[in-house]
Chain A
Amino acid sequence: MNVLLKILRTMGAATVNGVWRLGFAARFFLAVLRYSGQSFLRLPLTIRELFFSGVLSLLIILVSGLFVGLVLGLQGYDILQRFGSSDALGIMVALSLLRELGPVIAAILFASRAGSAITAEIGLMKTTEQLEAMDMMAVNPLARVVAPRFWGGVISMPLLAAMFSAMGIFGGWLIGVVVIGVDDGAFWSQMRAAVRFEHDVLNGIIKSFVFGVTVSWIAVFEGYDCHPTAEGVSRAITRTVVYSALAILALDFVLTSFMFRGI
């Protein structure tokens, strides 16, 4: 009987903790939005974060995009030529990148490259009591530290996803047209005929914006909320990457089911 009660108690505590943390995260999000006016008034703060989360992610995003495009070109050609429609390679590469792979892979890479760095930075600031020190000096750490990092991530995510897609289409073109020899005109003309800007490109941008908000939110929250110890910071970084990846994939399914229902 005692064992049963203990199990129930543990389950209850876990649930209450989870809900409490979720509520705290939501209130934290609203607080960040409320104090983010300063990050636009003092633009250099945000520009600095744009550099660290956007510019420094360029290399990994561009190279990954190129390789994803190359693989799509090879695999797509291998399947399409069985049906004698290898001319449709451009459609396949462009649509799979614009709708799914571009936003999703770019967001996961962004979470592991920039999100983890944001969490580590804020977590270490908390551990070394810099955030408290700021509070003592009447500087709001939410406005000075958290909000610029959040907006830096939100702004750079759609740009990075667009670069990923463009690079991937270039990679698919490189393999399909230059290496294999699919007709250049058919590659582009079929792609242009099938890709609609307001349906495919715009929905991809909306997706990457949503992912940018999600990843940045998780990263700054985990950093702000971590245990102020070395172990606590390392756990917070792990949580950032894991939660971001899960949230991106789950949100992607939800968004896709609203955007592309085939009707």
Chain B
Amino acid sequence: MNRTTLDLWVGFFVALGIAALIFLATKVGSYSDISGSHTTYSVKAYFKNIGGLKPRAPVKSAGVVVGRVGRIRLNKQDYTAYVRLDIDSDYAFPTDTSAAILTSGLLGEQYVGLVPGADDETLKKDDIIKITQDAVVLENLIGQFMFNKAAETPTPAPAPAH
């Protein structure tokens, strides 16, 4: 086979292999942003506990995906979790919308559920969602349950009065 053709094919082969490695390293292996096809506006929400919520988790309203979780940070002033929600510009939500961290399925991933309110005004860029509901932490739930159970146990009946 011709020398230049050979070199060309081998160069193509090596380039393809390196492209595959880069794909594995960036797209599969670590975080990188692939969104950008939709225009979004971001709103803020503060939670006391976000459980296992991760960046790029879906934001759903009535079960429909309307956006993605953008950024998660700890608020330094009051130690709450700051969550930025990137919502599709097609959807407008009332200002008294509430956000809750929910879990899809028993072992599924966590997402943010939005329940729209009744206000006439809609959320704009950098607005804050005031009504939030934290993620359910299983240990706290069990602890509460046990505490309630213990409180329910009937105290030994007092001796009958004569």
Query: Which residues on A are within 8 Å of B, measured CB to CB?
Result: 44, 47-48, 50-51, 54-55, 58, 83-85, 87-88, 94, 98, 156, 158-160, 162-163, 165-167, 169, 183, 185-186, 188-193, 195-197, 200-201, 205
Contacts and interface: CB of A to CB of B under 8 A. Distances in A.
Contacts of B20: 159, 162-163, 165-167
Given A47-B7, A54-B13, A186 B109 contact: yes
Contacts of A200: 29
**For chain B, which range describes its interface: under 10, 10 to 19, 20 to 34, or 35 or more residues?**
35 or more
Contacts of A94: 28
B10 A84 contact: no
Contact of B54 (A44, A165, A169, A189): A189
Contacts of B24: 98, 162, 165-166, 169, 201
Given A85-B106, A158-B17, A188-B34, 4 more contacts: A44-B3, A195-B29, A197-B25, A201-B25
Centre residue among B28, B32, B35, B65 by max chain A CB count within 10 A: B28
Given A193-B54, A195-B29, A201-B28, A87 B108 contact: yes
B43 interface: no
A58 B57 contact: no
A166 B6 contact: no
A162 B109 contact: no
Contacts of A55: 9-10, 12-13
A191 B28 contact: yes
Contacts of B54: 189-190, 193
A162 B68 CA distance: 30
Contacts of B18: 159
A160 B56 contact: no
Interface string B45-61: 00000000011111000
Those 5 A-B pairs whose CB atoms lie nearest each other, nearest first: A159-B17, A84-B105, A189-B56, A197-B29, A166-B20
